Amino acid sequence: MSQVRADGLAAALARGMPAVVWVHGDEPLLVLEAADTVRSAARSGGAVERLVFEGGRQFRPDALKAEAGAMSLFGEGKLLELRLPSKPGKEIGQAIGEVAAGMDPAIRLLVVSPRLDRAVTDSAWFAAIDRHALVVPIYPVARQQLPQWIGRRLAQQKQRTDPDTLEFVAERVEGNLLAADQEIRKLALLFPEGDLAGADVRAAVLDVARYGAFDLVEPMLTGDAARTLRTLDGLRAEGEAGPLILWSVADALRTLMRLHEAQAVGRPLAGELRAARVFGPREQQFHTALRRLDVDTVRASLQQAALVDRMMKGLVAGDAWGALEALAITIAGVRVPVASR
Return d(Cα 323, Cα 340) in angstroms, integer: 10
Task: Give the DSSP H/E element, type plus range, for residue 110.
Answer: strand 107-113
* 15 shares a domain with 130: yes
Number of domains in the chain: 3
Q: What is the DSSP string of 133-202?
A: EEEEEEPPPPGGGHHHHHHHHHHHTTEE--HHHHHHHHHHHTT-HHHHHHHHHHHHHHS-SEE--HHHHH
pLDDT over 70 (residue 170): yes
Residue 51 lies in a domain: yes
Q: CA-based diameter of the chain, in Å?
A: 64
More confidently predicted of 112 and 74:
112
Domain boundary residue, one of 114, 138, 162: 138
Return d(Cα 258, Cα 112) in angstroms, integer: 18
pLDDT band of 341, cuts 50, 70, 90:
very low
* 69-78, 136-145, 167-176, 315-324, range with the lowest pLDDT: 69-78
Residue 336 lies in a domain: no
Question: What pLDDT score was predicted for residue 209?
Answer: 40
Question: What pLDDT score was predicted for residue 218?
Answer: 86
Task: List, in order, residues 6 or more apart from 234 with CB less than 8 Å away.
Answer: none
Q: Which of 330, 261, 326, 322 is nearest to 293 (CA)?
A: 330
Return d(Cα 233, Cα 229) in angstroms, integer: 6
166 CB burial (10 A radius; 0-12, 13-18, 19+) = buried
Containing domain of residue 321, as a range? Answer: 214-331
Asked if 333 contacts 223 with a C-beta cutoff of 8 angstroms, the reply is yes
* 133 shares a domain with 17: yes
Q: Which of 216, 215, 213 is nearest to 204 (CA)?
A: 213
Q: What is the mean pLDDT of residues 103-112?
A: 89
Return d(Cα 210, Cα 214) in angstroms, integer: 9
* 68-72, 83-87, 287-291, range with the lowest pLDDT: 68-72
pLDDT band of 335, cuts 50, 70, 90:
low
* 52-66, 208-222, 298-312, range with the lowest pLDDT: 208-222
Asked if 246 contacts 304 with a C-beta cutoff of 8 angstroms, the reply is no
3-state secondary structure string, 10-75? Answer: HHHHHCCCCCEEEEEECCHHHHHHHHHHHHHHHHHCCEEEEEEEECCCCCCHHHHHHHHCCCCCCC
Residue 340 lies in a domain: no
Domain boundary residue, one of 138, 173, 192: 138
Question: What pLDDT score was predicted for residue 56?
Answer: 76
Residue 292 lies in a domain: yes
Q: What is the mean pLDDT of residues 117-130?
A: 90
Give the chain's mean pLDDT.
86
Asked if 136 contacts 6 with a C-beta cutoff of 8 angstroms, the reply is yes
Q: What is the mean pLDDT of residues 184-206?
A: 88
* 218 shares a domain with 188: no
Task: List, in order, residues 6 or more apart from 198 with CB less than 8 Å away.
Answer: 161, 162, 164, 165, 168
Return d(Cα 175, Cα 146) in angstroms, integer: 7
Residue 157 lies in a domain: yes
pTM: 0.60
Residue 13 lies in a domain: yes
Count, residues in the chain? 341
* 102 shares a domain with 65: yes
158: left (phi over 0), alpha (psi -120 to 50) or beta: left
Return d(Cα 86, Cα 95) in angstroms, integer: 16
Residue 296 lies in a domain: yes
Question: What pLDDT score was predicted for residue 298?
Answer: 93
Using alpha carbons, list the distances in angstroms from residue 301 to 96, 287, 298, 318, 327.
40, 18, 5, 17, 7
Q: Tell me the pairing of strands 107-113 and 194-195.
A: unpaired
CATH code of the domain in which 154 resides: 1.10.8.60
pLDDT per residue as tens digits for the range 50-84: 888 888 777 888 888 888 876 655 567 889 999 99
| Torsions phi, psi for 109 (to 5 deg) | -125, 130
Q: Which residues of 10-20 are buried (b: 16+ CB within 10 A; e: fewer)?
A: eebbeeebbbb
CATH code of the domain in which 317 resides: 1.20.272.10
Residue 263 lies in a domain: yes
* 69 shares a domain with 28: yes
* 147 shares a domain with 134: no
* 72 shares a domain with 96: yes
